[in-house]
Amino acid sequence: MPETPATRKPALPLAGPATQAGPPARSPDELMLMPGELFFGRDVACLRTLLGSCVAVTLWHPKRRIGGMCHFLLPGRTRDPGQPRDGKYGDEAVGMLVDALKRAGTRPADYEAHLYGGADTMPDLERSMRYVGERNIETGWRLIDEFGFNLVGVDVGENVPRVLRMSLITGRVDMQRGQSAR
């Protein structure tokens, strides 16, 4: 049966749906994460995303061979009591990944982390939005430190978009830089 939005499995098997809008596009081999989406588990071979001013954090447990990725748009927000978390915000997205890895019986200190993105791809817009890429990078750094992940790869800032792929078979993270947006 062909996959349709109604037949797709949730993107976050250990932590509920990835976003309120629904799960990301997926195939048996690759899951494309859109802004605000995240995944933790091992039931796809590869995670992929495209980053501009957004930031992605990848996590890999080398002994258990399990991992995940989040792709957030903004550093954080003030959330009303009872309001559900939203993967669009860095603090909430990484928090959801941490909840999922704890449910898997693992600890943040056992994970290798990568941090990518935060580009100034539209300098005029970025200035009007108070440097959202820079603030996303700062949030990513803070959260990796706060949760105690082992940071092993970083490529942030500048003015180039990035394509990111993470193998959930080997844990390898590959990043390609795009052309300058200027």
Do the beta carbons of residue 36 and residue 145 sit within 8 Å?
no
Q: Cα dihedral angle (15, 19, 22, 23), rounded to 10 degrees?
A: -60
What is the SS3 assignment for 89?
A: strand
pTM score above 0.85: no
pLDDT digits (tens, 9 = 90+) for 32-83: 999 999 999 988 999 999 999 999 999 999 999 999 999 999 999 998 989 9
Do the beta carbons of residue 58 and residue 39 sit within 8 Å?
no
Number of alpha helices (DSSP H) and beta strands (DSSP E) in the chain: 3, 9
Report the run of H or E that residue 133 belongs to, with start and end: helix 132-147
Q: Considering the chain, what percentage of its residues have pLDDT values greater than 90?
A: 70
pLDDT digits (tens, 9 = 90+) for 132-151: 899 999 999 999 999 999 99
pLDDT for residue 7 is more than 70: no
Domains and CATH numbers, the chain: 32-176 (3.30.1330.200)
Please provide the DSSP assignment of 135-172 as one string: HHHHHHHHHHHHHT-EEEEEEE-TT--EEEEEETTT--
CA distance 174 to 80: 37
Q: Locate 116 and state its tokens.
A: 């990518």
Q: Are strands 66-72 and 112-117 parallel, antiparallel or unpaired?
A: unpaired
Residue 67 amino acid letter: G
pLDDT digits (tens, 9 = 90+) for 40-52: 998 899 999 999 9
Q: Locate 75 and state its tokens.
A: 């550093």
